[in-house]
Amino acid sequence: MKPPETLLSTAENKFIMTKHDQKYTTEELAELFDNHMGSSIDTPLRSDAFHLSDEEKISQIAEKFEDIMHILGLDLSDDSLRGTPLRVAKMYVSEAFAGLNPSNKPEMKLFDNKYQYKDMLIEKNITVHSHCEHHFVPILGNCHIAYVPNGQVVGLSKLNRIVRHYSKRPQVQERLTRQIAEALMEGLGTPSVAVYLEADHMCVKTRGIEDAGSSTITMAFHGAFEDEIQRQYFLNAVQ
């Protein structure tokens, strides 16, 4: 795993940007990266993160979410609300944040490259359903990935499953992009991987600035895709 880049090298090499070519001052960029990048691409987890079973987590989350609803003044005796705490708890553990558990990571079974395919393989428009770790509201988008085989290939659905696994956890888009790229390089046994992710952040669209027209793009290029021609060929294919 590579050490985290500095602010400037991250901004230059990872091509993090916003739609409509929004400009940032150096101070604003520093604050942006302080808030979103952290010091590692690993999702922050405690050492005891998996001491509880899924069933125990669901039970405890349901109790606590019931407290939240009660504090908000909602009447949990109402037929429509009575089952909400349990539904939310099940959604968090079994769906929205299932990617936190490493036992759910899909296996990347490789096959011999019998066709001797040596060019880039692109998988476009992979659905991304994630959640912002700052407000726990959805991040919705599409991910395009590519790799150049290094003697072996993988079933196409595994590429989608890797994107889904790392999306299903509280995230920031920059980290998600890098986690997908690192997992693909490790699983595919090739350094030549590209990731392009465009997403809408509900924490931007539905709260705070309430900007419904913006989206965020992040990219990661490794191996052969560090070459400008290869990189541009990939970008032309996915944009």
Measured CA to CA in angstroms, residue 105 lies from 13, 98, 184, 200 at distances of 28, 9, 12, 25
* 22 has a pLDDT exceeding 90: no
**Domains in the chain: boundaries:** 7-35+108-238, 54-100
State the residue for tokens 């959640």.
131
131 is catalytic: no
Q: Which helix (H) or strand (E) holds 56?
A: helix 54-71
Q: How confident is the model at residue 27 (pLDDT cuts 50, 70, 90)?
A: low
Q: How many CB atoms lie within 10 A of CB 189?
A: 15
143 is catalytic: no
Fold topology of 7-35+108-238: GTP Cyclohydrolase I, domain 2 (3.30.1130)
Q: How confident is the model at residue 25 (pLDDT cuts 50, 70, 90)?
A: low
Pick the CATH number of 54-100 from 1.20.1250.20, 1.10.286.10, 3.30.43.10, 3.40.190.150: 1.10.286.10
DSSP 179-209: HHHHHHHHHHT-S-EEEEEEEEEHHHHSSTT
Residues forming beta bridges with residue 199, ordered by sequence position: 141, 216
State the residue for tokens 């959805």.
138
Catalytic one among 20, 28, 95, 134?
A: 134
* 15 has a pLDDT exceeding 90: no
1-15, 91-105, 206-220: segment of lowest average pLDDT: 1-15
36 is catalytic: no
203 is catalytic: yes
Catalytic one among 173, 179, 222, 230?
A: 173
What is the structure's pLDDT at 40? 75
Q: How confident is the model at residue 104 (pLDDT cuts 50, 70, 90)?
A: very high
pTM of the model: 0.82
* 82 has a pLDDT exceeding 50: yes
